[in-house]
Structure 1
Amino acid sequence: MKVRFYDIGSVEDAKLFYAVTAARYRGGWIWVRHKERVTWEMPGGRREPGEAILETARRELYEETGAVRYRQVPVCLYSVTPEGGAESFGGLFYAEVDELGDLPDSEIGEVAFFDGEPEALTYPQIQPFLLEKIRQAARPEPGESR
C-alpha cells in the first residue's frame, strides 16, 4: 500500500472520491467505530455525485460524529495505491470541533477521543500517514466556521 500527498488543486477535482477529517475535540483526536467493526477510523467517506469535496468532508464529519459547531480547513490531497491496484484520490481536512450534538442514525456505533491514534485501526496502512501529515502541518488554523 502506498500513500502519497499532493497540494490542493494539483489533482483534477473529478478524481477526488473520498474526504477524511482529522478532528480534535476538547484536546483529543476524534475517532469513530463502524457498527460492524471493532476497529477505529477517522471521520470520512465517499463523495456523492455533484458534491464538492469540502461538502463531503462537512457531511461526513457531521454524520459520523454529530459535530454541529466546528472550524474545518483543507490540508492537502492524498492518494492510496494498493499493491497491484489503481490509485484513488481524496481530500484530507483538519477540524477543531466546538460542539458535538447527538450522533445521527448512521453506520457509526461509537465516537471516542484519543491522545493519538488507537491501537486497532480500520486502515492501519493509511490512517497513521494521514494523522502524521496533519501533525506536520502544525495543526493549520481552521478557517470557515460551521
Structure 2
Amino acid sequence: MEVKIYDLGTVNDEKLKFAVIVSMFNDKFVYVRHKQRETWEVPGGHRELNENINDTASRELKEETGAIKFNIKPVCDYLCDYSLERKNNNKSYGRLYYAEIYELGNLPDLEIGEVKLFHSIPENLTYPQIQPILINEVLIRMNVENLYNCEVE
C-alpha cells in the first residue's frame, strides 16, 4: 500500500472520492470509533453523488463527531489531495482537511459509536499504514502548534 500527496490541481476534482479531516478540540486530536470496530480513526468518508468535496468534509465532520461549530480548511497551502494505491493497482483519491472544532453536540445515530479526544495519536488505529502519513502532512503544512512532538499513545 502506498500513500502519495499531491499539490492542488494535480488531481481532477471528479476523481476525489474521500474527505479526511484531522481535527482538534480543546488542543486534543479528535478520533472516532466505528460501531463495528474497536479501533480509532480520523473522521472522514465518501463523497456523495454530485457533492462538492468541501461539502463532503463538513458533512462527514458533523456526522462523525457531532461538531456544531468549527473551522475547516483543506491542507497543503490550503489544498492538498492524496492517493492510496493498493497492491492490485487500484488507486483512490481524496482531499485532506484540518478542522478546529469549537463546539461538540450530540453524536448522530449513524455508523460512529464513540468520539474520543487524545493528546497524541492512538496506538490502535483502523488504518495504521495511512493515517500517520496524513496526520504528518497536517502537522507540517498547517504548522499546528505544539503537535510536532506528538507521540503514539
TM-score by length of 1: 0.93
Aligned to 1:129: 133
**Unaligned stretches of 5+ residues in structure 1:** 141-146
Amino acid of the structure 2 residue aligned with 1:64: E
Matched, 1:15 2:15: yes
Amino acid of the structure 1 residue aligned with 2:8: I
Task: Determine the C-alpha separation between the residues in 1 that align with 2:19 and 2:6.
Answer: 14
Aligned partner of 1:79 among 72, 83, 90: 83
Task: Determine the C-alpha separation between the residues in 1 that align with 2:88 and 2:121.
Answer: 28
Q: 1:7 Cα deviation (Å)?
A: 1.2
Aligned to 2:34: 34
Aligned partner of 1:139 among 120, 135, 144: 144
Task: Determine the C-alpha separation between the residues in 2 that align with 1:63 and 1:10.
Answer: 29
- Note the aligned Cα RMSD (angstroms): 1.1
Amino acid of the structure 2 residue aligned with 1:126: I
Task: Determine the C-alpha separation between the residues in 2 that align with 1:8 and 1:59.
Answer: 22
Task: Determine the C-alpha separation between the residues in 2 that align with 1:77 and 1:38.
Answer: 28
Matches within 5 A, 1:82-97: 82-97=86-101
Give the number of equivalent residue pairs: 140
- Structure 2 residue matching 1:55: 3-state secondary structure: helix
- Structure 2 residue matching 1:111: 3-state secondary structure: strand
Q: 1:84 Cα deviation (Å)?
A: 2.5
Matches within 5 A, 1:47-126: 47-75=47-75, 76-126=80-130
- Structure 1 residue matching 2:24: 3-state secondary structure: strand
Work out the percentage of aligned pairs sharing the same amino acid. 50
- Structure 2 residue matching 1:96: 3-state secondary structure: strand
Matched, 1:24 2:24: yes
Task: Determine the C-alpha separation between the residues in 2 that align with 1:88 and 1:67.
Answer: 27
Q: 1:85 Cα deviation (Å)?
A: 2.7
- Structure 1 residue matching 2:98: 3-state secondary structure: strand
Contact 1:94–1:139 (8 Å) recurs in 2: no
Task: Determine the C-alpha separation between the residues in 1 that align with 2:89 and 2:118.
Answer: 32
Q: 1:117 Cα deviation (Å)?
A: 1.1
- Structure 2 residue matching 1:60: 3-state secondary structure: helix
Contact 1:30–1:111 (8 Å) recurs in 2: yes
